[in-house]
Each structure stands twice: as C-alpha cells, then as structure tokens.
A = this chain, B = another copy of it.
C-alpha cells in the first residue's frame, strides 16, 4: 500500500468522526449521521476530483471505506452519548489537525500529478483539506467555522502545501516531502491553536 493511500485512509476516519459529532449535536438521526460523516470525510477529496475531472472517485473504487463509515454510523449514534463524556475537546482538535495535514498534502500532490499550475495546486491542497468541514457546516446550516473563527487553519494548510511544492521543485524525495509537509501542517495548527493565535 502506497504512502498516499495510508494518509488518505487515516484522514477519512478522522473526518467521519468529526461529522458524527457535528450531526449528533444537531440532533440528526442515523441517516443524517451517516450522510454528514460521509460528506465530511469525502467532501474535500470529491470536490477536488470533480474540479480536476478525475474519475472514478476515491470512494467509488474503494467501496470498503464507504461501507466502513456506514457501519461506524450504526454504532456511532448510541456510542457518541457515552463517548462525548470521555473524549475531550483537545483530542478532537488533535485528530482534526491530523486530518487537515494528511488531506492537504494528498490533495496538493494529486493536483500536481494532474498537471495543475503551482498556485492552483496549492489551492487544491487547501480545498481537499478544508472543504469536508465547509460542506459539513453548510449541510448543518452553519456559517463554515473555518471561514470565520479567525484561527489559522486554512492558512496552516496553505503554508504546508507550499512547503511541499517547494520541496518538490528542489528535488527532495517525494516520500520525505509528503511526511514533513503534512507534519508541518499538524504542528502549525496545534501550536497556533494552543497559543490562541488569531488572524484578522
């Protein structure tokens, strides 16, 4: 299994989890929980693939991930009640930061592979990283958190994508670029969150 595949699977599970929590906080039923989890997990990558006109979509060739989220959704409704008492906000932020780093770098590397110009490739990375959450918030009838809370989130993704792009241009081995850029996003997100850094 290639490095990119491992990254993508990890990011999907984290996205689904964040969708479960948001859907339940809106008192959605099991259908809503599955739908929102699915959109959060696959929304960014699906939008990227539609914009790039890449088919089949990731979750079409790998129906096992769709089935996995389906099964998790069945468990999630009763489980979230008890889990929410155990799981702290801190854990959610960490898991989400992991997803942001992983999705973004997968997105930018796939856009580059598809021959996108460099600035567009960095945007595709950010879209892959944040649009699952944007679509989740739109379906849940909220102004997307990432667009208004003033915390560096999309910007961490953007910075990491450019780090990856520069490393690729300067001949750094792809695997090393992937992991370090994704890690940089995770660290930047967690540090700025911990310190309460805010943008205008």
Q: Which residue of B has the minimal Cβ distance to A61?
A: B117
Across the interface, do B60 and A23 meet the contact criterion of CB distance under 8 Å? no
Which residues of the other chain, B, contact A28 by a CB distance below 8 angstroms?
A: 143, 147-148
Across the interface, do A23 and B120 meet the contact criterion of CB distance under 8 Å? no
Pick the residue among B35, B50, B119, B141 that contacts A66 (CB under 8 A). B119
Across the interface, do B148 and A139 meet the contact criterion of CB distance under 8 Å? no
- Per the CB 8 Å criterion, the residue count for chain A at the interface is 49
Across the interface, do A67 and B119 meet the contact criterion of CB distance under 8 Å? yes
Among A116, A123, A142, find the residue whose CB has the most chain B CB atoms closer than 10 A.
Answer: A123
Which residues of the other chain, B, contact A52 by a CB distance below 8 angstroms?
A: 55
Top 9 nearest A-B pairs (CB, nearest first) are: A32-B147, A29-B150, A31-B154, A53-B55, A28-B148, A63-B117, A141-B143, A63-B119, A29-B199
